[in-house]
Amino acid sequence: MASDLETCSLLRTLAASKPSGRFLELGTGTGLATIWIASGLDENSSLISIDNKESLMNVATKYINDSKIEFILGDAYEWIKNYQGKKFDFIFADAMPGKYDLFEETIDMLNEGGFYIIDDMLPRPNWPLGHDEKVKYLTNKLEDRNDLVVTQLNWSTGIMIAVKK
Ligand SMILES: C[S@@+](CC[C@H](N)C(=O)[O-])C[C@H]1O[C@@H](n2cnc3c(N)ncnc32)[C@H](O)[C@@H]1O
């Protein structure tokens, strides 16, 4: 489940391009990508990372101690639907909510110039039946939006980077 290290490195590099940025990770897991993203942040940036699985979140909070990061244990579907705070400069959408579900709502949370990043877009032998169709559908949705500038990288696990116009 944890992100590929090449992806993590890319996340850190892109994170460093947003000084004083507001960052969001949907799907903390054990915090691997969280710590990579955090290592690209400057002192004035902040990162919210959310996951609904307590056992995984416990690993992340045990090993990551950084006042710039707010960990939220909760359902990202509810969190996205109820969010009324400031927009983000960087969203790593690494869970169903924010990626295959509530996509539009998540893109609405992006500032102009903000990054929306997803991984795991290249076919894998362990994909469940029908997942390739979901990937195609999401890829088209990203490409079709006039307010996003999108690049697809056939690298690492398959990355899509979109910037909000
Ligand atoms: C691919 S893993 C995240 C991996 C992590 N970003 C990393 O790079 O190490 C997806 C995560 O999404 C979480 N998740 C799934 N459904 C969720 C939901 N409704 N709300 C919050 N988190 C959810 C899972 O518990 C899992 O930890």
In this structure, the strands spanning 88-93 and 110-118 are parallel
Alpha-carbon distance of 99 to 106, in angstroms, equals 8
Tell me what percent of the residues of the chain surpass a pLDDT of 90: 99
Across the range 75-81, mean pLDDT stands at: 98
Q: What is the atom index within ligand 1 of the atom nearest the CA of 30?
A: 9
Mean pLDDT of 53-70: 98
The string of DSSP letters for 73-136 reads ES-HHHHHHH--S--EEEEEE-SSBTTTBSHHHHHTTEEEEEEEEE---S--TTPPTTHHHHHH
Asked whether residue 65 carries a pLDDT value surpassing 90, the answer given is yes
Q: What is the pLDDT of residue 73?
A: 98
Whose Cα sits closest to atom 1 in ligand 1? Answer: 1
Q: What is the mean pLDDT of the chain?
A: 97
Report the pLDDT value the prediction gives residue 64, as an integer from 0 to 100. 97
Mutate which of 8, 82, 94, 105 for ligand 1 pocket (most atoms within 8 A of beta carbon): 94
Q: Which atom of ligand 1 is nearest to the CA of 3?
A: 8
The DSSP element (H or E) to which 163 belongs, if any, is: strand 159-164
**Ramachandran area for residue 130 (φ above 0: left; ψ -120 to 50: alpha; else beta):** left
Please tell me the predicted confidence (pLDDT) of residue 79.
98
Q: Whose CA is nearest to atom 26 of ligand 1?
A: 29
Nearest by Cα to 24 from 117, 152, 103: 117
> At 1, is the pLDDT very low, low, confident or very high (cuts 50, 70, 90)?
confident
pTM of this structure:
0.98
Under the banding of pLDDT at 50, 70 and 90, the label for residue 19 is: very high
Instruction: Kindly state the tokens that stand for 68.
Output: 């710039």
